[in-house]
Structure 1
Amino acid sequence: MNTHDILEYLNGSDDAGLFAEAHATRQRVFGNDVYIRAIVEFSNVCDKHCRYCGLRADNKNLTRYRMQAEHILDAAARAVAEGAGTVVLQSGDDTGFSMELIGELIRTIKRCHDVAVTLSLGDRGIDEYAFWRACGADRCLLKLETTDRNLYKRLRQGEDFSARLHRLEGLRNLGFEVGSGVIAGLPGTTPMDALKDILFLTDLGLDMIAVGPFVPNSDTPLAGCAPGSARLSNRMTAILRLLNPEANIPATSALDALRPESRAEALRRGCNVLMPSMTPADIRGNYIIYPGKNADPLDGPPTLDRARRAIEGSGFAVSSAKGFSPRRNHVE
C-alpha cells in the first residue's frame, strides 16, 4: 500500500473494501479472539496542562481522587475473576504515587494472579520504569496523540516531542511491550496529517497501536472545537491493521463517546482489543478525559459482562489470554 492508496482510503474512497480487508487480516492473525484489558484508573490527579484533556492540572471543575492500594488490588482481583487476561494500571501524571508503591502493586498483582500488567502512567522516569519492569510489569502505553512536532508542542503546552519519543524507545529497551497512538481529527488537522500519523506509528514497530477520535471537553481550551470523526478513526485503525498485522489494536472508548455501539463496530473493522474500565463506580465518573468516558454501557457498572456481551454479539470470542503481540515470542 503506497501513500496515494492510504490517502484515498482516508478520504473514503472504498470503506467497504478497506474494512473487509482489515477484518480478514485480523482474522488471519488473531482468529476470532478479542482480548480484554481491564483498566483500573487509580488516580485522576495530573500535573500536565494538555489542552485537549479533562484531567489537565488547570481544570478546577474536576473532583480529584486517589485510590487506596487495597482498593486498587480489589479492582484488579475483580477483573481477573471475571476473565481479564490483562490488568491496566492507569492514572494521570501523578507523582503522588511513589515508585515503591506502584512497584508493590505490580508485585502483588503478579504474585496473586496469572495476568499481564500494563502501565499507563505518563512521563515517569526511565529509572522508575526499569524498577517496575523488575517488579514484573509487562507492557507500557505511552501515547503521542499527534506525530506533528509543532502541534504536539502547542497541545501539550510547550513539551518536547523528542523527549516523549526518547522515553518510548527507552521503554522498549527495558523489555516492555510498548504501545502508543494518536487522536484522530484534532482541530486543524487534515487527512494528510492522518497519513503522516499512520506512517510514523508504523515505523515505530509498536506492539499496540491506539487511535480514537477527538472528543472536545467543555473544561479545556479546545471546548468549542468540532469533534473528530468515528469513521476517520475506523479508517485509520483499519489501515494500521493492514500495515501492522501483528499489532494489538483496541477499539477505544472515545468511539462510543461520539456514537453508541461504535466500539463493537470497530471490532469488525480490524480491532482486536477492548479496554473496559474496572474503576469503582463511586469515582469512575471523575476520570473524565473527555465527555462520555466511563459513561457508556460497555463501561458501567464496573463489570466485564457488558464488554463480553458486546464481543460475542459482534460474532467474536472473548479471550482470557494475556494477549501479547505476535511480534514478540512470548509464552502465555
Structure 2
Amino acid sequence: MKKVLDKLYKTNSLSKDQLIYILNNLDKSLQNYLFQLARDTTIKIYGNKVFIRGLLEYSNHCKNNCMYCGIRRDNKNVDRYRLSEEEILLSLEEGYKIGYKTFVLQGGEDLYFTDDIFESLILKIKKQFPDVAVTLSIGERSYESYDRFHRAGADRFLLRHEVANVQLYNELHPGMNFENRKNCLYNLKKIGYQEGAGFLVGLPGENNEILAENLIFLKNLAPAMVGIGPLIPHPDTPLKDEKVGSAEKTIVMLSLTRLLLPTALIPITTALNTICEDGLERGLMAGGNVVMLNLSPIYVRKKYEIYKNKETRDAHELKTIEEKAKNVGFVIDMGRGDNINFRRNEDGK
C-alpha cells in the first residue's frame, strides 16, 4: 500500500482501480503518511503560504433545485435577498482597505443578474481595484457569457462538479445534467480562466468507486482550483435525513487531490470547518492552502444558508486565521495568490 502512495507522490497519477484500492485499505498510519506526502507536495510548490480570499455572497435567489442546497428554488423558508451594485462595491471596498487582493463573488443562479449587469459590475470592480483578482461563482452560463465576463476582467471561475457519476449527478440536480456541467467546465478552461471544480463527500449512494470517479474527472480536467467539502444536510431539503459527510474522508480526498494535481489551489472549505473544530489546521496539514473569509454585509450572512449552522469566517478575523496557520507552520498571504501556472504581477498584468 505504501508503494502505491509513493507512486502517486512521484508520478501524480494513478488508475481508478488503484485509487479505489487506497480508499478501501487506508488505515490510520497510512492516512497520516498520505497527509504528509500531500503537505510536502504543497510546500514544494507553494511554500508554507495560505492564500486568503474575500468572499461576497451577493444573492441567495436561485433558479435551480439541487436536492442538498438550502437556497434551492422550492425552499419557501428562505429569506431571499440580492445585494445592489452599490452594496457590492462598498463591501469590496471595505475588504480592499483590510488588504484583500482576491474577491470571490458567489451566489445562487439568480436570473436577475443578466450578462449586461455582470459585465458592468466586473468592469467597475476592475477599474476601482485594478490589482485585485476577480473570481466568479455564479453557476452555469453559455460560452459567450463566460467569454464576455473574462474579457471584462474576471480572472477565475468556481464551478464545482459536485459528483462525477452521471446517474447520481442527474438524480441530485433536477432539471440539470452532468454533460452540461462538464461542458461548462471545459468552456471555462478553453477561455482561459483559472477555473475551479470540486465535489461533495457523503452524498447518498456514494461509495469509494464514485469518489475515485471524482478524482479521475479532476485529473483529466486539471483545474487550477479544487474545492472539496462534506455534505451537511439542510432540514428544508429532500436530503434532510441523510448523515453528515465524514470530515476524515473529506480530508483524505483533499490529500489525494493534492497528489494528483500538485499545482492546484485547494481551499479548506467552510463546510469542513463547520463540522470539524480544527478543520483549518487539519486541512493545511493535509494539502490545503486557501482560506476564504466573508466580506458580505452582516445583515445578509445568515440568509445565505446552503446548510444550517454555517461557520462564518469574518473578513476581519485575519489574526485568528494567522494564529491557527502559524500553529501548524504556515503563514498567511494577502496577495492575489494565483495558481502557479497563471502567475502574473501584482498590478494584474
TM-score bracket relative to the smaller structure: over 0.9
Q: How many pairs were matched up? A: 329
Report 1:85-234 matches (<5 A).
85-113=101-129, 114-234=131-251
For 1:109 and 1:301, the matched residues in 2 are separated by 18
Structure 1 residues 302 and 97, CA, compared in 2 at 3 Å: closer, same or farther?
farther
Deviation at 1:314? 3.3
SS state at 2:294 partner: coil
For 1:310, the equivalent position in structure 2 comes to 324
For 1:34, the equivalent position in structure 2 comes to 50
For 2:19, the equivalent position in structure 1 comes to 6
Q: In 2, are the aligned partners of 1:247 and 1:327 still within 8 Å (CA)? A: no
For 1:41 and 1:179, the matched residues in 2 are separated by 17
After superposing the two structures, state which structure 1 stretch, 283-292 or 76-85, moved more.
Answer: 76-85
Match of 1:45 among 33, 56, 61: 61
For 1:301 and 1:83, the matched residues in 2 are separated by 10
Q: Which amino acid aligns with 1:48?
A: N
SS state at 1:21 partner: helix
State yes or no: 1:288 paired with 2:305. Answer: yes
For 1:241, the equivalent position in structure 2 comes to 258
Deviation at 1:153? 0.5
Unaligned 5+ residue runs, structure 1? none
Q: In 1, are the aligned partners of 2:98 and 2:316 still within 8 Å (CA)? A: no
Q: Which amino acid aligns with 1:79?
A: G
For 2:280, the equivalent position in structure 1 comes to 263
Unaligned 5+ residue runs, structure 2? 1-7, 9-13
For 1:112 and 1:218, the matched residues in 2 are separated by 41
Q: In 2, are the aligned partners of 1:182 and 1:210 still within 8 Å (CA)? A: yes
For 1:302 and 1:225, the matched residues in 2 are separated by 34
Deviation at 1:231? 0.7
Runs of 4+ in 1 over 6 A off after TM superposition: none
For 1:129 and 1:302, the matched residues in 2 are separated by 31
Structure 1 residues 8 and 80, CA, compared in 2 at 3 Å: closer, same or farther?
farther
Deviation at 1:327? 2.7
SS state at 2:340 partner: coil
For 2:4, the equivalent position in structure 1 comes to none
For 2:261 and 2:141, the matched residues in 1 are separated by 28
TM-score, scaled to structure 1: 0.94
Deviation at 1:78? 1.8
TM-score, scaled to structure 2: 0.90
Deviation at 1:260? 1.6
Deviations 1:145-200 (A, max 9, x none): 00000001000014111111111111112111111010011112112211111111
For 1:326, the equivalent position in structure 2 comes to 340
SS state at 2:293 partner: coil
Structure 1 residues 313 and 71, CA, compared in 2 at 3 Å: closer, same or farther?
farther
Q: Which amino acid aligns with 1:107?
A: L
After superposing the two structures, state which structure 1 stretch, 120-129 or 249-258, moved more.
Answer: 120-129
Q: In 1, are the aligned partners of 2:91 and 2:296 still within 8 Å (CA)? A: yes
Deviation at 1:72? 0.7
SS state at 1:130 partner: helix
Deviation at 1:104? 2.2
Q: Which amino acid aligns with 1:124?
A: R
Q: In 2, are the aligned partners of 1:211 and 1:233 still within 8 Å (CA)? A: yes
Q: Which amino acid aligns with 1:138?
A: D
For 1:55 and 1:61, the matched residues in 2 are separated by 9
Q: Which amino acid aligns with 2:138?
A: L
After superposing the two structures, state which structure 1 stretch, 16-25 or 68-77, moved more.
Answer: 68-77
For 1:130 and 1:81, the matched residues in 2 are separated by 30
Structure 1 residues 329 and 277, CA, compared in 2 at 3 Å: closer, same or farther?
closer
What's the Cα RMSD here? 1.6
For 2:54 and 2:100, the matched residues in 1 are separated by 6
For 2:22 and 2:54, the matched residues in 1 are separated by 32
Q: Which amino acid aligns with 1:322?
A: R
